[in-house]
């Protein structure tokens, strides 16, 4: 296929690509950062660029958002047909805090949580341990697949594998350098960087072969990651901190789960505790009354993070993040008080729970025969076409397929949690604390979550929404080396349960669909 030339301004970058390549992919591989909170659906308008030359015809989404200006395009919608010149707008990043809030200004660490969908970075003041999130962005590997299994499959091609490793390292390196420049922090002040994330992401980051992680018996030969070089991230010589990662427990119980276990332990949740980290994978552990620790992982898919959903997007400006009934009508909140551009994971769970309570959605997950009239009575719009969809607003709706995606996620977590209880002999009544972690858990409604039965009903438990414990663990390890050692000790005490070979998992999974 004929190569096309793309000139990127003001970065003064010139690259070549195959005709028919998506402009967003070409820019990403060239090292140009664009915001895509809607996951490339063309509805948020954040990836707008100016173009001259060979590009595909404008889509309807672009016409609606850009008003038909032929020189402006959405990078997630435009395909390259000929030689092209692109002018990008640097997204910039305003600091969300005054750098003087971090007391010493002398020695810092960076904590980096690498998730399948998104990556977060915190700055840690090493003497005090005080931390602040300074950047959050989509994992650039998403173009190779939304989940780790798809990315492992893509990595079989050695050239693609090399791209995936370089892209991940480059994007993190770029974010760190941009932040330090904006904050006025001298690179030599950064003394330590700690990574956390699922095992597959740690393998990619380390440049290790990931293929064995995706093939039975899913063996993780390396569970401790301690040797990194800043040069792999494109950092200058003067930025040369210690780099290491929290330990993993198995192929699909990564340092994010081990970090969550260590954070829970640090906060006093040592027994009678059930922990679930919600993401593309649902990672969980159970600490019993006798302090057994049993951990497992199940595939939830990207729906909880707003991806692969009809109107899904990350929790960014324009996302519906809460839905509730008020005086017989549906009300909702939009992040940033903006017009709705889509719906994120917390809003999706709220809306489905509300529809289940109203009879719009049956326990089976299907729309009821009265879905249209019941929806309209609440102020919702029901589209009864080829794909039935309930709309909160023009760009925020939930289809039958979306409901099924949530059912698959909740069936997996409910079945996995049930097996942990059964295999330890722990009764639901014994559980005193249910800890929900992950970015979703910072804004999740406990009532909606429990209404959809993501977990067994724990009658005596207090629900605690702990936010991103993977990032919190990396922050703790930055300033306290004993935390790192404690996390390894807890990892070594954890018995890992493999659901792929468990004799009861599939049966319980099939029985767990109902809302």
Q: Which residue has the tokens 């029901």?
A: 382
Give one DSSP letter per residue of 325-373, joined into a string: EETTEEEEEEGGG----EE-HHHHHHHHHHHHHHTSB-TTSSBPTTHHH
pLDDT recorded at residue 93: 46
Distance CA 513, CA 251 (A): 26
CB neighbours of residue 359 within 10 Å: 12
* Candidate CATH numbers 1.10.3470, 3.10.20, 3.30.420, 1.20.59; the one for domain 255-302+405-511: 3.30.420
pLDDT recorded at residue 100: 65
C-alpha pair distances (Å), 174 with each of 105, 195, 235: 22, 16, 8
CB neighbours of residue 182 within 10 Å: 15
CATH class of 3-87: alpha beta
* Nearest 10 degrees: Cα torsion 231, 90, 165, 492: 80
In 3-state terms, what secondary structure has residue 299?
strand
Contact status, residue 135 vs residue 173, Cβ threshold 8 Å = no
Distance CA 337, CA 319 (A): 9
Q: What is the pTM of this model?
A: 0.85
pLDDT recorded at residue 366: 95
**Nearby residues of 413 by Cβ (< 8 Å), 6 or more positions away:** 276, 278, 282, 284, 298, 300, 454, 455
Distance CA 290, CA 32 (A): 52
**Burial class, 336, CB count within 10 angstroms (exposed 0-12 / middle 13-18 / buried 19+):** exposed
Instruction: Name the CATH topology of 102-245.
Output: Nucleotidyltransferase; domain 5 (3.30.420)
In 3-state terms, what secondary structure has residue 403?
helix
Distance CA 312, CA 37 (A): 9
Q: Which residue has the tokens 């990564």?
A: 254
Distance CA 139, CA 142 (A): 6
Tens-level pLDDT at each residue, the chain (515 residues) = 688 899 998 878 888 888 999 998 888 777 777 877 787 788 888 889 999 999 999 998 888 888 878 889 999 999 999 999 999 875 444 455 666 666 556 899 999 999 988 899 999 999 889 999 998 887 888 878 878 888 999 999 999 999 999 999 988 998 899 899 888 898 999 999 999 999 999 999 999 999 988 887 788 889 998 767 888 888 988 898 989 999 999 998 999 999 999 999 999 999 999 999 998 889 999 999 999 999 999 988 878 887 788 899 888 889 999 999 999 999 999 998 888 989 999 999 999 999 999 999 999 999 999 999 999 999 999 998 888 999 999 889 999 999 999 999 999 999 999 999 999 999 999 999 999 998 777 788 999 999 999 999 999 999 999 999 999 999 999 999 899 999 999 999 999 999 988 999 999 999 999 99
Q: For residue 324, which of 365, 354, 289, 287 has the smallest C-alpha distance?
A: 354
- Give residue 22's Cα distance to chain centre: 23
Q: For residue 110, which of 30, 228, 248 has the smallest C-alpha distance?
A: 228
pLDDT recorded at residue 139: 87
What is the phi-psi region of residue 157: left when phi exceeds 0, alpha when psi lies from -120 to 50, beta otherwise? beta
Distance CA 68, CA 381 (A): 28
* Domain ranges for the chain: 3-87, 102-245, 255-302+405-511, 308-394
pLDDT recorded at residue 361: 96
Give one DSSP letter per residue of 117-174, joined into a string: SEEEEEEEETTT--EEEEEEEE-GGGGG-SSHHHHHHHTTSHHHHHHHHHHHHHHHHH
- Same fold yes or no, 3-87 and 255-302+405-511: no
Please report which helix (H) or strand (E) contains residue 74, including its range. Answer: strand 72-74
Distance CA 66, CA 494 (A): 53
Give one DSSP letter per residue of 324-336, joined into a string: EEETTEEEEEEGG
């Amino acid at each position: 296929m004929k190569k096309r030339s793309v000139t990127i301004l003001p970065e003064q970058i010139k690259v070549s690509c195959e005709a028919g390549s998506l402009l967003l992919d070409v820019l990403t591989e060239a090292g140009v950062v664009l915001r895509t909170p809607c996951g490339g659906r063309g509805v948020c308008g954040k990836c707008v660029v100016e173009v001259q030359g060979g590009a595909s015809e404008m889509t309807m989404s672009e016409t609606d958002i850009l008003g038909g200006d032929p020189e402006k395009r959405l990078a997630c919608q435009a395909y390259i047909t000929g030689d092209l010149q692109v002018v990008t707008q640097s997204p910039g990043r305003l600091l969300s805090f005054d750098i003087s809030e971090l007391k010493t200004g002398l020695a810092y660490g960076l904590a980096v949580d690498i998730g399948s969908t998104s990556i977060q970075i915190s700055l840690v003041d090493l003497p005090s341990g005080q931390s602040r999130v300074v950047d959050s962005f989509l994992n650039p590997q998403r173009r190779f697949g939304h989940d780790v299994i798809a990315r492992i499959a893509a990595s079989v091609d050695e050239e693609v594998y090399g791209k995936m490793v370089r892209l991940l390292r480059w994007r993190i390196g770029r974010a760190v350098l941009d932040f330090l420049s904006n904050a006025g922090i001298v690179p030599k002040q950064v003394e330590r960087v700690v990574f956390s994330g699922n095992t597959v992401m740690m393998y990619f980051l380390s440049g290790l072969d990931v293929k064995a992680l995706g093939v039975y018996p899913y063996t993780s030969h390396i569970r401790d990651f301690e040797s990194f070089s800043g040069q792999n991230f494109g950092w200058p010589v003067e930025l040369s901190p210690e780099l290491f990662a929290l330990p993993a427990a198995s192929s699909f119980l990564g340092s994010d789960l081990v970090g969550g276990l260590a954070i829970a332990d640090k906060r006093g949740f040592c027994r009678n505790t059930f922990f679930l980290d919600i993401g593309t994978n649902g990672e969980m552990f159970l600490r019993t009354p006798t302090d057994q620790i049993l951990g497992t992982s199940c595939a939830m898919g990207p729906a909880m993070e707003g991806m692969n959903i009809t109107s899904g997007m990350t929790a960014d400006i324009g996302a519906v993040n809460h839905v509730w009934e008020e005086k017989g009508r549906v009300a909702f909140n939009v992040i940033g008080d903006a017009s709705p551009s889509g719906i994120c994971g917390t809003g999706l769970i709220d809306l489905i729970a509300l529809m289940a309570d109203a009879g719009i959605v049956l326990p089976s997950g299907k729309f009821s025969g009265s879905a249209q009239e019941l929806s309209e009575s609440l102020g919702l719009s029901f589209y009864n076409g080829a794909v039935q969809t309930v709309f909160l607003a023009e760009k925020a709706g939930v289809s039958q397929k979306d409901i099924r995606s949530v059912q698959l996620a909740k069936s997996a977590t409910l079945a996995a949690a049930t097996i942990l209880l059964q295999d330890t002999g722990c009764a639901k009544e014994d559980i005193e604390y249910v800890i929900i972690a992950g970015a979703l858990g910072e804004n999740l409604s406990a009532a909606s979550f429990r209404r959809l039965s993501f977990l067994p009903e724990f009658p005596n438990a207090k629900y605690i929404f702990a936010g991103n414990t993977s990032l919190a663990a990396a922050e703790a390890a930055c300033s306290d080396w004993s935390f790192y050692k404690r996390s390894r000790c807890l990892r070594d005490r954890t018995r890992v349960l493999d659901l792929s070979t468990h004799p009861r998992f599939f049966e319980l999974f099939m029985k767990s669909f109902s809302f």
